[in-house]
Amino acid sequence: MSTCEQIQKILTVHEQDRTEQEREILQAHLATCPLCAHEEKVYNGLDSLLAATMKKEVSAAGIPPLIPPQSSLTQPNINARQATTWLAIAASVIFVIGAAGSAYMIGNTRAELRHLRTQLLQSQNRCAKLESLVASKDKELTALAKHIANGPVRRVSYNIFTSNKEADQSLKTAASLWGYHIRQLKGERHDFDQF
């Protein structure tokens, strides 16, 4: 059985801070002791008075009552942040791949360009040789034309064929052979120019 002195000590402890054991002891004692039951009422009254006084003091000072805020703090959108990070990483990867691809393509184009330049140089050399050949043949043709014009060939032809007609025919044949040869040379040059 608890004494009133022990109960007085428990009564000073705020209701929220009492242990389960203290509550049981208190309940059992208060049922049998009117003095301690009265003391409990005094403490309960004190609690109510303190709470009411403090709340009234605030409202009496003209401070508006507490209104719960409309907005509430929600879990921060971590996924959005992660998505942004992943997006940045993906963009970086795409950029790196793109840059590497571009570098590879540029390298290929450069190699192709070098090859074409080499081909061009070879073709230019060949062109120069052909031009010099054409020039020498042109000179030969001019010289031959002069020679024909001067008549020795005609005379030789006349001597061989003993008739003007045959001499003329042989001259035409010779001229056409030269002409064919020159056309062939010129055609080769034309093909080269086209290339």
Partner 1 sequence: MREDNNIFQEALKADPQTALSWLYSTFSSRVYRAAFLYLHSTVDAEDICHEVFTTAMENAYAYRGEAGPYTWLYSILRNKVGKLLAQRKTARQHQQAVARKLSETRLLDNTPEDLACETETRTAVQQAVSMLPDDMQALVHMRYFEEFTGDQMASVLGITHARVRSRLSEARALLRSIMISKEIQP
Where do contacts with partner 1 occur on this chain (CB under 8 A)? 9, 12-14, 16-17, 42-43, 45-51, 53-58, 60-64, 66-67, 69, 71-78, 81
- For the four alpha carbons of 8, 11, 17 and 21, in that order, the dihedral sign comes to positive
* Shortest Cβ 9–partner 1 spacing (Å): 8
Comparison of 39 and 168: residue with beta carbon closer to partner 1: 39
Q: What DSSP character marks residue 63?
A: P
CA 66 to each of CA 55, 58, 59, 63: distance values in angstroms, whole numbers, following the listed order:
11, 10, 10, 9
CB hemisphere CA count around 172 (13 angstroms): 6
Comparison of 82 and 184: residue with beta carbon closer to partner 1: 82
Comparison of 57 and 112: residue with beta carbon closer to partner 1: 57
CA distance linking residue 62 with residue 45, whole number of Å = 26
* Shortest Cβ 89–partner 1 spacing (Å): 19
Comparison of 14 and 165: residue with beta carbon closer to partner 1: 14
* Shortest Cβ 6–partner 1 spacing (Å): 14
Count of beta carbons in the 10 Å neighbourhood of residue 6: 15
* Shortest Cβ 63–partner 1 spacing (Å): 6
Comparison of 27 and 75: residue with beta carbon closer to partner 1: 75
* Shortest Cβ 15–partner 1 spacing (Å): 10
Count of beta carbons in the 10 Å neighbourhood of residue 37: 13
- For the four alpha carbons of 147, 151, 154 and 158, in that order, the dihedral sign comes to negative
E strands present in the chain = none
